[in-house]
């Protein structure tokens, strides 16, 4: 399992984090993951 997928699985368990942030995943060889505040609330 890739580190990126592992991170997403962990983040999915953090409902508060998911509710407050938009997760942006750039699928590049290095598997960059960034988050941004969710402004749709």
Which residues share a beta bridge with 21? 37
Global pTM value: 0.29
**pLDDT at 7 (0 to 100):** 76
**pLDDT at 3 (0 to 100):** 78
Structural domain count, the chain: 1
Q: Is pLDDT at 41 greater than 60 in this prediction?
A: no
Q: How far apart are CA 31 and CA 20, in angstroms?
A: 22
**pLDDT at 10 (0 to 100):** 77
**pLDDT at 16 (0 to 100):** 64
Do 21 and 37 form a contact (C-beta atoms < 8 A)?
yes
| pLDDT tens, position by position, 2-30 | 777 787 777 777 766 666 666 665 556 56
Do 21 and 15 form a contact (C-beta atoms < 8 A)?
no
Q: Which domain range does residue 14 map to?
A: 3-37
Q: Is pLDDT at 39 greater than 60 in this prediction?
A: yes
């Amino acid at each position: 399992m890739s580190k990126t997928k592992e991170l997403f699985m962990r983040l999915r368990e953090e409902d508060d984090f998911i509710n407050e942030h938009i997760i942006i995943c750039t699928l590049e060889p290095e598997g960059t993951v960034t988050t941004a505040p969710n402004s749709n609330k």
